[in-house]
Structure 1
Amino acid sequence: MTYLAGQPLKILSDPNVQDVIVIGAGVIGISAALALQADGRKVTVLDRQDSSPRASDMNAGAFAFADIMPLAAPGILRKAPKWLLDPLGPLSVPPAYAFKILPWLVRFWRASLPGRYQKSLSAQASLMKLSQDALERLISDTSAEELIRRDGQLQLYEREREFQASLPGWELRRKHSVNFKLLKSAEEIADIQPGIDSRFSFAGFTPDWINTCDPAAWLSHLTNVFRTRGGNVIEANATQLRSTGNGVEIQSVNGIHCASQVIVAAGAWSHHLAKTLGDTIPLETERGYNTTLPSTGFDLKTHLTFPGHGFVITRINDGIRVGGAVELGGLQLPANYKRAEILLEKARSFLPELDKKTGHQWMGFRPSLPDSLPVIGPSSKDKRVIYAFGHGHLGLTQSAGTAELVRALSNKTQPPIDLAAYSPNRF
């Protein structure tokens, strides 16, 4: 009999070791489960027993394939002190968390050095290209086109100086075959999206940008397809991994599951599980805030990004979601919804016709690694455990591509891209 916290545990799974268990029922975990299931694998997904909406349900709904530049970029630290000292700025660290996150920030600085940044940029672009192609395969395979919007995206700049500073980034996109058009007047912008304040007279438009009409509906659809095809989703909070001769044991608060292979895709909680196996991975939590307004009179035609202010405005079903910014504050500190209020105030300033109705506020956890790249690869302690986490605010974007990489790793076939940059051992 196995014991946890002094109490005997029953084996919850079939007495025989299961084929594959995926820990995490967010968009990464479910996408990976579907990919493995397509190869004939028998897959069970363990879902956290938590009623609060997760990042996979409440994000901005964007498949941001054009966002190939890592957050840890050269010169970022020239901006960081100003941002970090502003508790409501686009990048902030709550004072109560500053000491704890210091080692992560040192790694973040190292990742911004030119040589490391170029490697991360190349890896990010490679994963984006794979994910873009993989998404189209997933949409077709699951008959999900009705959940997709192909309306493009505007990145808006309110000063010529800000626009000029963005041009190297647009040139990098060009080198990586991202389709875009630069706009240099409020009139050109209004042709794509009327109703934006005229202070925004410069923009970049990416016509191939894709959104889902509702990320919660997208995840629900994928989960239902997984179940329809014979997949099993069980509520269980995984707390520990343990290697055994028969397989990998997963301890949860109410029992044990055992599988011949385990995929860890538990988002911001993943590194805690990895540590129980002996892997130390420097994952931190980006706390994202947004407000979803109900059906409004404003006709939002495309996804809007305000890079100088660190937030986006997007259409979710018939409503509008305003959110973004990065607060590096871990999993335990209380939410600071003043951040969501500030973003909404800015949105109403930038879009004067936006409805003044009260919206629904949300804060969620996005798992982030210092070099802006996820961990995708086997554990150094047990190759039967595959990690797939740390996508930051790009989890939805990179989910389909990550799933295809997990499938290759699981089946020991050649991955479609080089995985060295995403290795769990790179730190």
Structure 2
Amino acid sequence: MESALESPRIVVIGGGIVGLCVAWHLAKRGLKPLVLDAQKPGAASSGNAGAISHGSVAPLAMPGILKQVPGMMMDPKGALHIPVRYWLKAAPWLLRFVASARTEKVEAAADALAALFFGTLDRHKEILAAEGAPELIREAGQLYLYRDDAQMAKDKAGLDLRRRHGLQIEVLDRAALAALEPAVSPVYTRAAYLRDHGSSVNPARFAEVVARGVQRQGGEVRAAEVRALRTDGRRVTGVETADGFIPSDQVVLAAGAWSARLLAPLGLKVPLETQRGYHMMLPDPGVMPGRVLSPADRKVFISPMEEGLRVAGSVEIAGLDAPPNEARAELLLGDLKAVFPDVNTSGAKSWMGHRPCLPDSLPVVGPLRDWQGIWCAFGHGHLGLTGSAPTGALLGAAIAGERPNFDFAPFAAERF
């Protein structure tokens, strides 16, 4: 057990990429944060698709989503699946999800996400440049693939929303698509090219580099299971771990899908749900695209990485405690073959992780309204890597008293 004199000023709960980026910016300011996570630093974020997508301002729940919910619940092979045993548990979240698809809510969410993601790629490059690892970012854009104009038209609302927030989208015909990615199946005849987007070529190494940067600048990263927040009056005074109490002046809650459990004893019920995501990693695919690809009819991301080719996606709402469903991971190989029919899938390895998702697609970022000594940074959903560096920069500045020019109100935990 540590004495108050030895305690760090700031404890960051969660060693995923969001928590690490917050800690990096705190350490940069000389605040010497202590990062606590039960897993290896970055383990929770190591399996993401690697996409860094500042233009992803369209929330998951768009107008018309209600018609898709029955299919989500019934189709075990669908891009989003909810097992029968979890229907009742998921129902309150789904109702909020559908309610957030109203036009005015969608527009407000897009405005908020555009503000959060402003300068995202530069924020990532800032950290990697300081740590001597700029090669972890690939700046080759992203391609969204469509079979024909009719399929692209189904995405019109989302594409138009992105354009209204300044995203440059080039529409490619088959010839232009083939010039960029000749191995893509000829059934895809159209593409939306996001030239100014990027990706990480190794999310696990990315997180390790950020963790080392925290330590290089005087912070600490420690393996510890945080079990509860300790409070005194209306102030959070530290954290209870499996090894004892650690006092602090400030706590940053960046525990991903587990964050709501830690907030509940404070009287805050945040509708945080885990959307379990899967990937398959192919060490010798025989084909390697030059950038991240996403076929619209498959709802997956195909990402070239240092260790091979990764296909990631497959959303499953089934809670934190159920074991991985290997059949969900295997479906990804079919999605990949639809784009690259001749891909070599031998030696493919699966992975499952938890995406912390809120029904309005906005994370919880910033201070709590009625509690002192605690800041939040969780719920980034499918955009954890994208949102990590800008969230870290904003919170690092705010906690240090720099008053960044940013409105935290849309991201408040109390909005629910």
Q: How does 1:360-379 map to 2 (within 5 A)?
A: 360-379=349-368
User: 2:105 corresponds to which residue?
Assistant: 116
8 Å Cα contact 2:288-2:304 kept in structure 1: no
Q: Is 1:222 the equivalent of 2:210?
A: yes
Q: Deviation digits for residues 213-259 of structure 1, max 9, x if unmatched? A: 10000000111111122211111110111223796121112211010
Say which of 68, 85, 94 aligns to 1:79.
68
User: 2:282 corresponds to which residue?
Assistant: 293
User: 1:42 corresponds to which residue?
Assistant: 32
User: 2:200 corresponds to which residue?
Assistant: 212
User: What displacement does 1:45 show?
Assistant: 0.8
User: What displacement does 1:273 show?
Assistant: 0.8
User: 2:227 corresponds to which residue?
Assistant: 239
One-letter code of the match for 1:46?
A: L
1:18 alignment partner, SS class: coil
8 Å Cα contact 1:279-1:380 kept in structure 2: no
What TM-score results when the alignment is normalised by the length of structure 2? 0.95
- Identify the range of structure 1 (142-151 vs 386-395) with the bigger mean alpha-carbon deviation: 142-151
User: 1:19 corresponds to which residue?
Assistant: 9
- Name the % identity: 35
8 Å Cα contact 1:243-1:382 kept in structure 2: no
The number of aligned residues is 415
User: What displacement does 1:318 show?
Assistant: 4.0
Q: How does 1:345-356 map to 2 (within 5 A)?
A: 345-356=334-345
Say which of 6, 21, 35 aligns to 1:31.
21
Q: How does 1:191-206 map to 2 (within 5 A)?
A: 191-206=179-194
2:177 alignment partner, SS class: helix
Q: Kindly tell me: are residues 130 and 423 of structure 1, through their superposed partners in 2, closer, same or farther at Cα, counting changes over 3 Å? A: farther
8 Å Cα contact 1:23-1:265 kept in structure 2: yes
User: What displacement does 1:281 show?
Assistant: 0.8
User: 1:142 corresponds to which residue?
Assistant: 131
1:129 alignment partner, SS class: coil
One-letter code of the match for 1:421?
A: P
Gaps of 5+ in 1: 1-10
User: 1:305 corresponds to which residue?
Assistant: 294
Q: Deviation digits for residues 148-206 of structure 1, max 9, x if unmatched? A: 1112111001132111222332222222121221012x222110101111111011011
8 Å Cα contact 1:80-1:91 kept in structure 2: no
8 Å Cα contact 1:155-1:306 kept in structure 2: yes
8 Å Cα contact 2:284-2:346 kept in structure 1: no
Say which of 395, 406, 417 aligns to 2:395.
406
Q: How does 1:61-72 map to 2 (within 5 A)?
A: 61-72=50-61
One-letter code of the match for 2:278?
A: Y
User: 1:7 corresponds to which residue?
Assistant: none
- In the alignment, the residues of structure 2 paired with residue 143 and residue 286 of structure 1 have an alpha-carbon distance, to the nearest angstrom, of 33
One-letter code of the match for 2:28?
A: A
One-letter code of the match for 1:342?
A: L
8 Å Cα contact 1:179-1:207 kept in structure 2: yes
What TM-score results when the alignment is normalised by the length of structure 1? 0.93
8 Å Cα contact 1:238-1:250 kept in structure 2: yes
- In the alignment, the residues of structure 2 paired with residue 365 and residue 54 of structure 1 have an alpha-carbon distance, to the nearest angstrom, of 11
- Identify the range of structure 1 (256-265 vs 303-312) with the bigger mean alpha-carbon deviation: 303-312
Gaps of 5+ in 2: none
1:169 alignment partner, SS class: helix
User: What displacement does 1:410 show?
Assistant: 1.2
One-letter code of the match for 1:201?
A: T
- In the alignment, the residues of structure 2 paired with residue 303 and residue 261 of structure 1 have an alpha-carbon distance, to the nearest angstrom, of 38
User: What displacement does 1:357 show?
Assistant: 1.1
- In the alignment, the residues of structure 2 paired with residue 97 and residue 342 of structure 1 have an alpha-carbon distance, to the nearest angstrom, of 21
8 Å Cα contact 1:17-1:247 kept in structure 2: no
- Identify the range of structure 1 (268-277 vs 369-378) with the bigger mean alpha-carbon deviation: 268-277
User: 2:77 corresponds to which residue?
Assistant: 88
User: 1:424 corresponds to which residue?
Assistant: 413
User: What displacement does 1:325 show?
Assistant: 2.3
8 Å Cα contact 1:55-1:366 kept in structure 2: no
One-letter code of the match for 1:217?
A: R
One-letter code of the match for 1:210?
A: G
User: What displacement does 1:384 show?
Assistant: 0.8
1:400 alignment partner, SS class: helix
2:377 alignment partner, SS class: strand
One-letter code of the match for 1:242?
A: R
Q: Kindly tell me: are residues 13 and 317 of structure 1, through their superposed partners in 2, closer, same or farther at Cα, counting changes over 3 Å? A: farther
User: What displacement does 1:309 show?
Assistant: 1.5
1:240 alignment partner, SS class: strand
User: 1:183 corresponds to which residue?
Assistant: 172
